[in-house]
Amino acid sequence: MGTLDNKVAIVSGSGRGIGREIAVKLASEGAHVVVNDLDADPAAETLAAIEAVGGKAVTCIGSVTDAGFAKRFVQTAVDTFGGLDIIVNNAGYTWDSVIQKMTDEQWDAILDVHLKAPFHILRAAQPVISGLVKQAKASGEPVPCRKVVNISSLAGVGGNAGQANYASAKAGILGLTKALAKEWGRYNVTVNAVAFGFIKTRLTEVSAGGGKITVQGREIQVGVNPDLLAAMEQLIPLGRAGTPAEAAGAVYLLCSPESDYVSAQTLVCGGGVNI
């Protein structure tokens, strides 16, 4: 028996890294998961990982920033598993530059994926959640506690040089979290955020020469110089960066029944860093 048996979850950006770990963790606790990624292959790998732990999942391929994606994402959960109980807004990437060199394209792209896309997904989910609540009340059944977990960052809590776009988006998601907690409390939905500190993923673990990822045709420089990485880890009270599995554990805490009376909060998952 899992703590999330038969709950239906959608996790954006769950083909790789932290998102994959979140999807697998929720599935291992019994949730049915809609896996999303830009590309089919990573999504299929997450699907296989979920099936390997005995879970159930389906994929929904596409960019969270595409017109019509949010409704399709939500509808996939309803059509496949019959409901919607958990929303994790995780998809995103970084495109860094100091402000005098940052282009409008950089600014818009990061705000779109980290703030506008979660807004679209939550807006698309509202009629579904409202309808399920009305249905439960009409039949005399208790209204279950549903969960929204938005992913933020220490950059959104305290800022970060070279990341004006990312920090702004991640600060904005905290405001969205608090607003939705007040709007959706009447539906018995808790809305919280997890602000990640330094988590080792493919975006950080690259060579000293740096690396690139391709996002919708754009080549974007990513990575942290190993010397800088080591220096950053020394500033973390636990003495190391976190793992994707540990990051997923923080999200799971806010999806579990034990957090049913916790809402409008930001949980910092940063190894003791206090900004």
Which residues belong to the active site? Answer: 166
Reduce the secondary structure of 134-203 to three states and give it as a string: HHHHHCCCCCCCEEEEEEEEHHHHHCCCCEHHHHHHHHHHHHHHHHHHHHHHHHCEEEEEEEECCECCCC
Residues 63, 216 contacting (CB under 8 angstroms): yes
Residues 6+ apart with CB under 8 A from 231: none
Work out the angle at residue 203's Cα, subtended by the Cα atoms of residues 44 and 95, and round it to the nearest 5 degrees. 110
Kindly tell me the sign of the dihedral angle through the C-alpha atoms of 157, 172, 78, 41.
Answer: negative
Question: How many angstroms separate the CA atoms of 210 and 224, rounded?
Answer: 7
